[in-house]
Amino acid sequence: MKNILYLIVVFVVSLSCKAQNNVSKVVETNTSNPKLVVGIVVDQMRYDYLTRFYNKYGEGGFKRIINEGFNCKNNHFNYVPTKTGPGHASVFTGTTPKYHGIIGNDWYDKKLKQKVYCVEDDSVTSVGSNDAEGKVSPHRLLTTTFADENRLFTQMRGKTIGIALKDRGSVLPAGHTANAAYWFNYENDGNGNWISSSFYMNEMPKWVKDFNDSNITESYFKEWNTLYDINTYTESGSDLNTFEGGFKGKETATFPYDLAGLKDDNGGFNIIAESPYGNSLTSDFAIAAINGEELGADDITDVLTVSYSSTDKVGHNFGPDSKEIEDTYLRLDKDLERLLNALDNKVGKGNYTLFVTADHAAPNAINYMKSVKVPSGFFNESVMQKELNAFLNGKYGLSNVILSRINNQLFLDYQQLEEHKLDLQTIKKEIALKLLSYELIDKVYVTSAINHFENTSGDIELLLSNGHNQKRSGDILYVFDPFVLNSASWNKTGTDHGTGLNYDTHVPLLFFGKGIKHGETLQKTEITDIAPTMSALLGISFPNASIGKPLEFVLE
């Protein structure tokens, strides 16, 4: 009997030790996750900015990420339109506008019968300003981000903080459950503070107040000259040319720029956002957030999303071949190095994981392409809309039946068609045929056709299908010839974006840090692969509508 009792005791003790070992293994497994994930989006960054300026980059920014991390060289967007709102949403949700619903920066809301902005929300109030610039939230985003899934997985103990000059660049990546999203109040004569929304908080944290009360932002009202001797900027065109926009109050778009002297004519704090100093300010604030929120301070994974918006603004103004864009990226390289050093010091080398990508790319300036004899042009969509409405009025007596034209889509007045007892599909097809008669329009599709494009591959039809949300998108979509921009909304200098062509879809994708292999691939990857890859790294659920695949060759 004593022997039996002894065996039972030994067995129980053995089970207890085994259970403790298993618990220990679980703890070890959990703590093997990075303490912090940093998702970086560089607004309007073409892939070739990595290679064109590589020899001028320092050792601690882009080069460090490439040389120690993994470089996906053939990374593309898999939908249109390639715009900022959809881009940020797709990077972090792992899906496309078809599912996440952010079909543009703006679109025509069929129920409200008016144009809406992707993150505007009249149900919330500004925090940090007295204007309406904080009346935003992610309420139009229909799906979760990987940051949301991390919050759910950690029972809301893992923090999420979103940062960008642009509100949509902060709000959409951070998702629905974020602790906070912050953006720079620079538009419409903003107060130059980092602000937020009552969706996240009722009062700013002390560290944000301290940052806003400091002189950091105002210190960037200074001269913008080239970081290095302008004569060494051989990767860009001449400084003086007719392809660039420039700033009000300065006759030529040439270095140097006196931002303090130009600010009153260029929207005050807006001119900081329009210069590379906007990226420097973003890094300043991101570093303040790491310290102020104690991100990565424990073993529960936090997420920080950072979008560098000024690259987009400089690109729009000056174009991809400008001295200004080259200088902007050389300075961004320094700002990335500062951020990496701060992460090393605060979170620790090997304790964080980071990725760098873009929300879209951009074509060369159209007038520059004209000058080198590449087929290109401008198309006036406003004139087109007027002509189509006039045609439909003359034939059917319809009055402005095309209610809106946005993102290469037309929205029709269903009520008016019903009143005139006209068949919707017949009118759509008639408009499509009329559109095809215009020079510089390559293809036209009606929505009934787009809904059947899911099984196509490798063509514009698949990109259109992935970007088409049945409830929110327009009735007719049209595709321009290559290197064609809408002149109704563009001043014919600098550049714009939005197509499914390589110059808009090909963007960097770099992974770096804990759990990431060193290497590179020319295998095609897609923007929707990022979120599931991060989810796989963390061992959490994929975002709820993710269509991407985890990139196994990136992960250790």
pLDDT of 489 reads 67
Among the candidates 458, 486, 514, a domain finishes at 486
Asked if the structure places residue 534 within a domain, the reply is yes
Tokens of 373: 């004899």
Identify the domain containing residue 540 by its residue range: 34-365+506-554
Task: Report d(CA 452, CA 402) in Å as an integer.
Answer: 24
CATH code for the domain in which residue 408 is found: 3.30.1360.150
Whether residue 227 sits in one domain with residue 98: yes
Whether residue 218 sits in one domain with residue 77: yes
Annotation-wise, does 168 bind a ligand? yes
Q: Taking the model in full, what pTM does it have?
A: 0.93
Whether residue 203 sits in one domain with residue 259: yes
Whether residue 324 sits in one domain with residue 275: yes
Selecting among 29, 51, 82, 84, the annotated active-site residue is 84
> Cα torsion at 289, 217, 496, 250 (round to 10°)?
-170
Q: Are strands 106-109 and 114-117 parallel, antiparallel or unpaired?
A: antiparallel
pLDDT of 29 reads 36
pLDDT of 378 reads 96
Whether residue 478 sits in one domain with residue 421: yes
pLDDT of 15 reads 36
Whether residue 40 sits in one domain with residue 83: yes
pLDDT of 32 reads 87
pLDDT of 2 reads 39
Asked if the structure places residue 23 within a domain, the reply is no
Angle, alpha carbons 101-103-108 (nearest 5°): 105
Whether residue 430 sits in one domain with residue 469: yes
Could you tell me where the DSSP H helices lie in 32-83?
48-52, 62-68
Asked if the structure places residue 420 within a domain, the reply is yes
Asked if the structure places residue 5 within a domain, the reply is no
CATH code for the domain in which residue 190 is found: 3.40.720.10
Domain count across the chain:
2
Among the candidates 453, 486, 519, a domain finishes at 486
pLDDT of 457 reads 52
Task: Report d(CA 257, CA 269) in Å as an integer.
Answer: 15
Annotation-wise, does 166 bind a ligand? yes
Whether residue 274 sits in one domain with residue 188: yes
Task: Report d(CA 276, CA 311) in Å as an integer.
Answer: 7
Among the candidates 437, 454, 486, a domain finishes at 486
Whether residue 206 sits in one domain with residue 308: yes
Asked if the structure places residue 11 within a domain, the reply is no
Give the H or E element holding residue 88. helix 84-93
pLDDT of 21 reads 41
Whether residue 200 sits in one domain with residue 330: yes
Residue 403 backbone phi and psi in degrees, to 5: -75, -35
Residue 66 backbone phi and psi in degrees, to 5: -70, -45
Residues 239, 279 contacting (CB under 8 angstroms): no
Residue 167 backbone phi and psi in degrees, to 5: -60, -45
Asked if the structure places residue 16 within a domain, the reply is no
What are the 10-residue block averages of pLDDT along the chain, 556 residues in total? 38 38 35 93 99 99 99 98 99 99 98 98 97 97 99 99 99 99 96 98 98 98 99 98 98 98 98 99 99 98 99 99 99 99 99 99 98 97 97 97 98 97 96 98 91 66 96 98 87 94 99 99 99 99 99 98
Angle, alpha carbons 480-481-483 (nearest 5°): 100
**Is 84 a known active-site residue?**
yes
Asked if the structure places residue 353 within a domain, the reply is yes
Whether residue 327 sits in one domain with residue 388: no
DSSP string, 365-400: PHHHHHHTT-S-EEE-HHHHHHHHHHHHHHHH--SS
pLDDT of 6 reads 38
> Is there a cis peptide before residue 532, judged by omega within 30 degrees of 0?
no
Annotation-wise, does 359 bind a ligand? no
3-state secondary structure of 268: coil
Whether residue 78 sits in one domain with residue 206: yes
Asked if the structure places residue 4 within a domain, the reply is no
